[in-house]
Amino acid sequence: MRIAIVGTGYVGLTTGVCLASMGHEISCVDIVPERVTAINNKKVPFYEPGLAEMLSKVVASRRLYATTDLVEAITRSEVTFITVGTPQSNQGIDLSYIATAARQIGYALRHVSDYHLVVLKSTVVPGTTDTLVCNLLEEGSGLQAGEFGLCMNPEFLREGSAIHDFMNPDRIVIGQWDERSGQTLAEVYKPFDCPRIFTTLRNAEMIKYAANALLATLVSFSNEIAALCEVTPDTDVNVVMQGVHLDRRLSPVINGERIKPGILNFLWAGCGFGGSCLPKDVNALRAYARERTVTPYLLDAVMNINNKRPAILEKLAEEALGSLRRAIIAVLGLAFKPGTDDLRESPALTVIKLLLDRGAIVRAYDPFVTSIPPGLGFDNLVTFCNTPEEVLRDSDTAIVVTAYPEFAEWDWTTLCNSMRHQIIIDGRNILRKVPWPKKVRYIGIGRVN
């Protein structure tokens, strides 16, 4: 099918490239001309494993091209996906990008004579598609919903494994204005082998929030247990959570073999969740609840627990060194999770801010992040290092913030010898099994150190 994708961020570009690789003809639209040029030059404007190779193939075979001309993209398509951002705002969710895109698509539909389906893929609070988006499409096009199709189709891909997730979805949720809309979208996804849920637009919107709220809740649950272990001598949150994981309802034994479902990854303690989705989606749902006079007790607690975690790392460093003034701190990992260069809502930024406020000198190392974008208050305040040796040499403390498994493979004996004070604070408990030399003070989280 011929498909337009409005917004070429993580979700839009991954959607476009994957659908193109399956044989659809894709027109990607963005308002940022540099992004459009990069895509047409087979360059991915962000880091996502495997995406550059696939983009290169689909651009070369002319199955995908990018443009800033929305009308042109829509008039040559049968289906339009909206994949623009829905950032956090004081009111919970900023729907201004959605509104602009819907208005522009509405006007573009005036140039389309055949039936056209508009699919909202961005994450939005319940009621957005059938009110805001629908009204703007109707206003712009002069048509009534039904004359054009309308679906809400939430996306569940994860940065770092976006292609795999898109190509192998757990489920495809199709919120539909009417049956024709849903069936048209089902055609796009025909080759996929997974359960499909055809439902109301609002159920589709709510499913995405409920799924993310559950994951966030599991993380905060684990972190609340960690906070309790941190004040209880002879406890260790890692051992406690291992004991919890071994419940067969969480890790069933099938044919004598224990299965470890992915959900268990959210049942470990750490220094908090971040990223472009979990914090903003939980906050959007909290605001949505309050607007409807429901107090979201659980979701409030989830965010309160999460907001407190990064500060623990700064506190541990201060306790270990006495004062952070002019102390050289090596922050290991900046992205909100391994395998991405996304810094949005990363706990590392909070940790660094707290360290700088205390007068520390901050160095950073991350395999994928080589700078902090200007304007976030860190300009020229953090020195980026290219190697573990560089970041740790003469430092007073190292703080692990992102759970890169390769950190555990480093030659810690040599690295620690190059440090001024051999103090390691492990905000993700990933270095627990390292055989630490005697002189090293290793401080994990979720226990009394």
Pick from 34, 30, 8: nearest CA to 19: 8
The least CB distance from residue 23 to ligand NAD, in Å, is: 23
**129 Cβ contact partners less than 8 Å away, ≥ 6 residues apart:** 120, 150, 152, 175, 201, 202, 204, 205
Residue 330 interacting with ligand NAD (CB under 6 A): no
The least CB distance from residue 447 to ligand NAD, in Å, is: 32
Question: Quick one: which of 22, 31, 301, 408 contacts ligand NAD (CB under 6 A)?
Answer: 31
Residue 211 interacting with ligand NAD (CB under 6 A): no
Residues marked active site are found at 277
Count of CB atoms within 10 A of residue 176's CB? 24
3-state helix, strand, coil in the chain (%, to 5): 40, 15, 40
Sheet holding 382-384, edge to edge: 382-384, 361-365, 328-332, 397-400, 423-426, 441-444
The rounded distance, in Å, linking the Cα atoms of 331 and 390 is 12
Long-range contact set of residues 289-296: C-beta below 8 Å, sequence gap at least 24: 291/92
Residue 97 interacting with ligand NAD (CB under 6 A): yes
In the chain, the amino acid numbered 2 is R
Residue 99 interacting with ligand NAD (CB under 6 A): no
Residue 201 interacting with ligand NAD (CB under 6 A): no
Looking at 191-324, list the stretches that DSSP marks H as alpha helix, in order from N- to C-terminal side.
201-229, 237-245, 278-291, 297-321
**210 Cβ contact partners less than 8 Å away, ≥ 6 residues apart:** none
The number of residues that bind ligand NAD (CB under 6 A) is 27
Structure tokens at 170: 């757990």
Residue 429 interacting with ligand NAD (CB under 6 A): no
Which CB, 212 or 395, lies closer to ligand NAD?
212
Which CB, 85 or 338, lies closer to ligand NAD?
85
The least CB distance from residue 59 to ligand NAD, in Å, is: 17
Question: Quick one: which of 83, 153, 176, 222 contacts ligand NAD (CB under 6 A)?
Answer: 83
- Contact code string over 114-133 relative to ligand NAD, x by CB under 6 A: --------xx----------
The residue of the chain with the least Cβ separation from ligand NAD equals: 9
Question: Quick one: which of 21, 67, 80, 86 contacts ligand NAD (CB under 6 A)?
Answer: 86
Residue 140 interacting with ligand NAD (CB under 6 A): no
CB 103, CB 39: distance < 8 Å? no
Structure tokens at 364: 């950073």
The least CB distance from residue 85 to ligand NAD, in Å, is: 4
Residue 32 interacting with ligand NAD (CB under 6 A): yes
**95 Cβ contact partners less than 8 Å away, ≥ 6 residues apart:** 86, 124, 128, 132
Pick from 121, 110, 122, 114: nearest CA to 149: 114
CB 420, CB 394: distance < 8 Å? yes
Question: Quick one: which of 85, 149, 339, 427 contacts ligand NAD (CB under 6 A)?
Answer: 85
Residue 100 interacting with ligand NAD (CB under 6 A): yes
Residue 108 interacting with ligand NAD (CB under 6 A): no
Which CB, 347 or 446, lies closer to ligand NAD?
347
Window contacting ligand NAD (CB under 6 A); options: 6-14, 56-64, 172-180, 312-320: 6-14
Residue 222 interacting with ligand NAD (CB under 6 A): no
The least CB distance from residue 99 to ligand NAD, in Å, is: 9
- Contact code string over 272-291 relative to ligand NAD, x by CB under 6 A: ----xx--------------
Sheet holding 172-176, edge to edge: 64-67, 25-29, 2-6, 79-82, 117-120, 149-152, 172-176, 196-199
Question: Quick one: which of 3, 29, 125, 219 contacts ligand NAD (CB under 6 A)?
Answer: 29
**414 Cβ contact partners less than 8 Å away, ≥ 6 residues apart:** none
The least CB distance from residue 74 to ligand NAD, in Å, is: 11
Structure tokens at 222: 């684990």
Residue 10 interacting with ligand NAD (CB under 6 A): yes
The least CB distance from residue 342 to ligand NAD, in Å, is: 7
Window contacting ligand NAD (CB under 6 A); options: 7-15, 168-176, 311-319, 349-357: 7-15
The least CB distance from residue 10 to ligand NAD, in Å, is: 4
Residues that bind ligand NAD (CB under 6 A): 6-12, 29-32, 35, 83-86, 97, 100-101, 104, 122-123, 155, 157, 159, 276-277
